[in-house]
């Protein structure tokens, strides 16, 4: 059996994502045999390749008369991206040839791999930046162009290609955490770190002074503005970034999720940050109770998180949209029944699709005359009033804050029950 290496493992990840439609997050256990630095490197190589896939294919296409099998193509793509991004040519080409040579079914193609990659050694770094920014696949690009415009989608694609920094939410004073971590304090109070630091080695991790959370993902809990002693329900809570924010306000928080396995992360996070919440394993549609405030972070296409998860557009095909949209509508309808009169509910999804955001809130308002939308709740520091959408929610896009490094795509709205 071949020794695992970061590159070999990265090719395995690409084979699974591009061939089997699996997500990188499901595949991380397959990296357990690697050392922690190699594990991080394998993931970085795979995500870099997925971001640059269209460019790599364009360069390789000129030198391949026939498309080789997916595994060989993935070896070529990975090596091309590494070469384009300044990888050591000798090491990159040698290992690519060895990976193919060690494969029973494909080893007759090692000469081809060697010849093509020798050409890529000069060509990839020279031509890379002149190639267009990789586009989203049609199943996603189409609806997004319809919802926004071709120009906005191109800006979103540029943000996807640039990737994302590490954002932090502080448990208490963000200024203090910003100084300790030496990061950039964002207008909404999150802290942005450059590079790819090892999270668990950063000051304040062990003592639970902060947690990792994209700046956009930190806004729903800020908009809900839970108060000390309020009964607050966090629906679809795992892995718990928003639960921690809610618990840090001193509210009486119940964190609910259908997945006990994912709730283990919530329990770990609560224990590390020394915060308290009641953790409940239950289907949100079955839950009963009465709450002052509810945060519903509904399961969605996650198309707002492609900056961090470039595997998503390659592993998925949009066939799950309809069932997700239906589940979100049912969850929102049920969540309203759990609100005390006068209570408020923040509905959010990390999706770019209006069907999973604006349309859900429009529908809820049209069908339940007890509900009103609370636009004032969106007036929090750093939130641009221009991000508000017609029905009274907040539309966040990856191309916002271009000079600060972007944000995840999100939809957030605050509803009140009369």
Interaction site with ligand SAM (CB under 6 A) = 236-242, 257-259, 262, 283-285, 297, 299
Among 21, 12, 20, 22, smallest CA distance to 49 is for: 12
Q: Shortest distance, CB of residue 244 to ligand SAM, whole angstroms?
A: 9
Q: Which is nearer to ligand SAM, 75 or 235 (CB)?
A: 235
Q: Closest CB to ligand SAM among 174 and 239?
A: 239
Cβ nearer to ligand SAM, comparing 88 with 268: 268
Minimum CB separation of residue 267 from ligand SAM in Å reads: 13
Instruction: Please say which residue, 199 or 285, places its beta carbon nearer to ligand SAM.
Output: 285
Six-digit token pair at 182?
A: 């030496």
| 348 is an active site residue | no
Catalytic residue, candidates 348, 350, 359, 414: 350
Q: Helices 110-127 and 89-101 meet at what angle, rounded to 10? A: 150
Nearer to ligand SAM, 134 or 239 (CB): 239
Half-sphere exposure of 38 (CA within 13 A, CB side): 13
Largest CA distance in the chain: 72
Give whichever of 297 and 362 is closer to ligand SAM, judged by the CB atom: 297
Least distance from C-beta 236 to ligand SAM, angstroms?
A: 3
Query: What is d(CA 401, CA 11) in angstroms, rounded to the nearest whole number?
Result: 33
**Shortest separation between residue 217's beta carbon and ligand SAM, angstroms:** 6
With tokens 């009465």, the residue in question is: 290
Give binding residues for S-adenosyl-L-methionine as ranges. 236-242, 257, 297
Contacts (Cβ under 8 Å, ≥6 apart) of 160: 51, 134, 136, 306, 307, 310, 398
Nearest to 394 by CA among 223, 151, 150, 168: 223
Residues 136 and 102: their CA atoms lie apart, in Å, by 33
In the complex, residue closest to ligand SAM by CB? 236
Which residue ranges make up the annotated binding site?
236-242, 257, 297
In our burial notation (b when 16+ CB lie closer than 10 A, e otherwise), range 302-336 reads: bbbbbbbbbbbbbbbebeebeebbebbbebbebbb
- Report the alpha-carbon distance of residue 255 to residue 238 in Å, rounded: 8
Provide the token pair at 181: 């971590």
Strands 410-417 and 166-170: unpaired
Using CA atoms, how far apart are residues 216 and 188, in angstroms rounded to an integer?
9
DSSP-assigned letter for residue 287: -
Give the closest residue to 100 by CA, choosing from 218, 8, 228, 34: 8
Minimum distance from residue 299 beta carbon to ligand SAM (Å):
4
The residues assigned a catalytic role are 350
């Amino acid at each position: 059996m071949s020794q695992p290496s970061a590159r070999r493992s990265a090719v395995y990840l690409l084979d699974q994502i591009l061939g089997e439609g699996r997500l990188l997050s499901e595949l991380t256990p397959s990296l357990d045999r690697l050392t922690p630095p190699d594990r991080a490197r394998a993931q970085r190589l795979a995500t870099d390749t997925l971001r640059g896939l269209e460019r790599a294919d364009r360069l390789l296409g000129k030198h391949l008369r026939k498309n080789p099998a997916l595994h060989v193509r993935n070896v070529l793509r990975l090596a091309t991206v590494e070469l384009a991004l300044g990888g050591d040519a000798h090491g990159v080409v040698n290992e690519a040839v060895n990976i193919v040579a060690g494969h029973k079914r494909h080893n007759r193609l090692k000469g081809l791999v060697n010849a093509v990659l020798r050409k890529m050694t000069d060509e990839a770094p020279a031509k890379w930046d002149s190639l267009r920014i990789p586009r989203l696949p049609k199943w996603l690009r189409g609806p997004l162009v319809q919802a926004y415009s071709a120009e906005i989608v191109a800006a979103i694609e540029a943000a996807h290609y640039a990737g994302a920094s590490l954002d932090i939410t502080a448990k208490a004073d963000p200024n203090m955490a910003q100084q300790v971590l030496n990061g950039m304090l964002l207008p909404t109070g999150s802290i942005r770190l450059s590079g790819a630091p090892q999270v668990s080695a950063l000051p304040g991790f062990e003592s639970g002074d902060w947690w990792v959370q994209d700046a956009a993902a930190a806004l729903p809990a800020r908009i809900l503005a839970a108060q000390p002693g309020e009964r607050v329900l966090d629906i679809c809570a795992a892995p718990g970034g928003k639960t921690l924010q809610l618990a840090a306000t001193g509210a009486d928080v119940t964190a609910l999720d259908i997945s006990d396995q994912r709730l283990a992360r919530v329990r770990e996070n609560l224990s590390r940050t020394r915060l308290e919440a009641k953790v409940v394993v239950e289907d949100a549609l079955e839950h009963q109770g009465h709450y002052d405030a509810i945060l519903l972070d509904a399961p969605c296409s996650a198309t707002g998180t492609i900056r961090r998860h470039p595997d998503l557009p390659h592993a998925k095909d949009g066939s799950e949209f309809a069932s997700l949209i239906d589940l979100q509508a049912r969850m929102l309808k049920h969540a309203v029944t759990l609100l005390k009169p006068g209570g408020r509910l923040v509905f959010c999804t990390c999706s770019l699709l209006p069907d999973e955001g604006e349309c859900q809130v429009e529908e809820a308002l049209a069908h339940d005359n007890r509900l009103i939308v609370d636009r004032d709740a969106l007036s929090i520091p750093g939130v641009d009033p221009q991000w508000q959408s017609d029905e009274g929610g907040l539309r966040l896009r990856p191309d916002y804050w271009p000079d600060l490094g972007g944000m995840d795509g999100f939809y957030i709205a605050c509803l009140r029950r009369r």
